[in-house]
Chains A and B, each alone.
Chain A
Amino acid sequence: MWRLLLIGVLIICLAWAAPYDPLKTNTSNQLQAPSAAHPFGTDILGRDVLSRFLHGGQQTLLSASAAALIAIIPSTGLAFVAAGDTRLQRIQLLILQALLAIPNLLLALVILTVLGRSEVSATVAVGLGQIPVFTLVIRAAILGVQSEGYIESARAAGANPLWLATRHVFPNLIPTLATYGAVTFSYCLMNSAALNFLGMGGELGKPEWGVMLAEGRAVFRAAPWVALPPGIAITALIWSINRWAVAQRGFR
C-alpha cells in the first residue's frame, strides 16, 4: 500500500518537472515524433506530449482522489448512522438498491445534467456515483463485525453505542475501508477519465489523461505517441491497485 501511495505522490509531484508549458501551442512543430527535445513527441497543436502527460497525471490523480473521498466519507457515515436502527437500515437498503439499479456511469451523467459540464461537476458526479456500492460494502462489513461475540459482551457490559462504534467497530473496518477504498479510487480514475474522454470534463484541451486519449484517438494512425502514454499509465495504475486489492482479500 505504501508503495502505491508513493507512486501516486510521485506522479503528482512530477508535474513540476515538466520541461515545457503543457498548454503552449507551436504550429511549426506539429505531430513531431519523439526526439531528444521532445522525448514523447508533440501533438496536433505542437504541444509537448511529455509535459502534457506529467501535468495530466497530476490533474487526473487529484480529481480521482477527490472523487474517491466524495464517495468514501459520506458512505461510511451513512452506513454507521443506519447501523444503529433496524428500521432506518431497511429504508436505506431499499433506497440504495434503487440507486444501484441505475448504472454507475448513467448516474454520473444524471448528476452532470444537473450540475452542467465542468471539471468540478465531473469529479463530484463520479464520486457521488460510487456512493451506493460503497455504502453497501461498509454496511455488510459493519454487520459482520456486529455479530462478533466481543461486541455483544461489550454491549452487555453497558458500553454506549458511540463508544462501541468508535472503539470496537471502526478499527475493525479499517482493512475493508483501505482495500475497498483503493478499488473505489480505481473506479473513480477510470470513470473520471471516461467523462473527460467523452468531453464532459469542462474546458477542452486541458492536460488530463482522458482528454489526451480523446485527442490522441483522432491522430492515432499518424502519431500514436500522443495517446500511448496516458493509456498505458491508466491501465498500469488500475492493474496494480487491483492486484494489491486481490492480495489483501487473501486469494492467490
Chain B
Amino acid sequence: MTVLMAAGRMIVIIWLAATLTFFLLRLHPGDAVEAQLIQVGAASDVIAERRSQLGLLDPLWLQYLRFCAGLLQGNLGVSLITGQLVSEMIIQRLPPTLELAFSAGILGSVLGVLGGVGAAVKLPYGLSWVAKINLSLALSVPIYWSGTMALLAVSYALPTGSGAEISRFVLPVLVLAFHMSGAVGQMVSTNIRLAMDMDFVRTAHAKGLRPVIILWRHVLRLGLLPTITVIGLQIGFLLGGAVIIESLFVRAGLGRLLLESTLQQDYPVVQGIVVLAAAVYAVVLSTCEALYRLIDPRITR
C-alpha cells in the first residue's frame, strides 16, 4: 500500500513538473520559428504557415492536451529549428551523459562516504585534515574552475595529443565525482558526528568496547543510513553539473543539447530534456526513500 502511494505521488510530481515547465515556456512572447524565419527574411504568410504546421496557433489548452497525450506515448514533440523529433534527439545525445553521470555518481558516492567518515573520526597522520580540506574545497570551488585546472594539469603533464581519451572521459568523471563527494561527505560527516554523541555509543565506550568496534558496529550503521537519500538528491546536481562539464570538455551530450536549445529558444527541446530530468530525479529519489524505509528498522512498515 505504501509502495503504491509512493508511486502515485511520484507520478503526480512528474506530471506537475512537466506542466509547470510547459506553462513557464509558453510565457515567452515570440517563438523560435518566428525568430529564425525573420532572420532568413521570410514573408509573414510563410511564418504563419510554419506555425500552424507545428500547431502553435491552436489555443493553449489544446496545445497542452496534445503535450500531455504525447507525454503518455513518449512523444515529446518536434524541434522548432530542425523539425526533428525531440525524443530522437534526446536518445541520440543520451549515451555520453548517461556514461558521465553514472560513473561520476558511483565514484562520487564512494569518495563522499570515505571522505565524510574520514572527516568525522580521528585518523592518524593528519588524514582527517586532508579529508576536511578536501570536503570544503569540493563544496566551494566552482565546477567550471576545477575543470579548467584539471585540463591544464593534464595538458602540462602529458605531451600534446596523447591525452585525448583522458580529457574526454576520465577527467570529466573525476571532476564531477569530486564535487559530488563534497555534498555527500558533508552530510555523512554530520550524521556520523551526531551518531557519536548518542547515549548508546557512550554506553559502549563505558563498558570498554574498543573504539574501532564501536565505530564499525554502532556509529557507522546509524550514521550511514541517511546517505542513501543524500545520494539520491545528488542526481539533480549531476544533471546540472553535466551541462557545465559537457560544455567545458566538449562532449556531445544532453547538457550541450540543452544549452544549444536554450540559446536558440527552441523550447520543445528544452521542455523535453527538463521533463526527462525531472522524471529521472523523481524516480531515483523515490527509490532511495523506499530503500531507506526498507533498511531502517525504526520505521515500521
Residues of A participating in the B interface, judged by any CB pair closer than 8 Å = 94-95, 97-107, 109-114, 116-117, 186, 190, 193-194, 197-200, 210, 213-214, 216-217, 220-221, 224, 227, 231, 234-235, 238-239, 242-243, 251
- Chain B residues, CB < 8 A from A112: 262
Given contacts A98-B17, A113-B25, A243-B136, contact A103 B240 (CB under 8 A): yes
* B190 at interface, CB cutoff 8 A: yes
CA distance A98 to B274 in the complex (A): 12
A109's contact among B139, B156, B262, B281, by CB below 8 Å, is which? B262
A235's contact among B21, B141, B262, by CB below 8 Å, is which? B141
B244 close to A110 (CB less than 8 A): no
- Chain A residues, CB < 8 A from B20: 95, 98-99, 102
A109 close to B24 (CB less than 8 A): no
A231 close to B148 (CB less than 8 A): yes
Chain B residues 257 to 301 lying within 8 A of chain A, measured CB to CB, are 258-259, 261-263, 265, 267, 270, 273-274, 277-279, 281-282, 285
B13's contact among A98, A117, A198, by CB below 8 Å, is which? A98
Q: Shortest Cβ distance from B161 into chain A, in angstroms? A: 14
Q: Shortest Cβ distance from A111 into chain B, in angstroms? A: 7
- Chain A residues, CB < 8 A from B236: 100-101, 103-104
- Chain A residues, CB < 8 A from B193: 251
Q: Shortest Cβ distance from B21 into chain A, in angstroms? A: 6
Minimal Cβ-Cβ distance residue in A for B271: A110
B277 close to A110 (CB less than 8 A): no
The winner among A114, A200, A242, A243 for most chain B CB atoms within 10 A is: A114
Q: List 9 A-B contacts (CB under 8 A).
A: A98-B14, A109-B262, A113-B267, A116-B265, A194-B142, A198-B259, A220-B151, A235-B142, A242-B139
A102 close to B244 (CB less than 8 A): no
Q: Shortest Cβ distance from B16 into chain A, in angstroms? A: 3
How big is chain B's contact interface, by range? 35 or more
Residues of B participating in the A interface, judged by any CB pair closer than 8 Å = 12-14, 16-17, 20-21, 24-25, 27-28, 136-137, 139-145, 148-149, 151-152, 155-156, 190, 193, 235-237, 239-240, 243-244, 247-248, 258-259, 261-263, 265, 267, 270, 273-274, 277-279, 281-282, 285
- Give chain B's interface secondary structure class: helix
CA distance A100 to B282 in the complex (A): 9
Sort A-B residue pairs by CB-CB distance and give the 9 closest, nearest first: A98-B16, A105-B240, A103-B236, A239-B140, A238-B140, A101-B278, A98-B17, A231-B145, A103-B240
CA distance A194 to B28 in the complex (A): 23
- Chain A residues, CB < 8 A from B21: 102, 110
A100-B236, A113-B25, A194-B144 known; 17 new pairs, CB 8 Å cut-off, are A94-B13, A98-B20, A101-B13, A102-B281, A106-B277, A109-B243, A112-B262, A113-B261, A114-B27, A198-B247, A198-B259, A200-B262, A213-B142, A217-B148, A221-B156, A235-B141, A239-B136
A221 close to B24 (CB less than 8 A): no
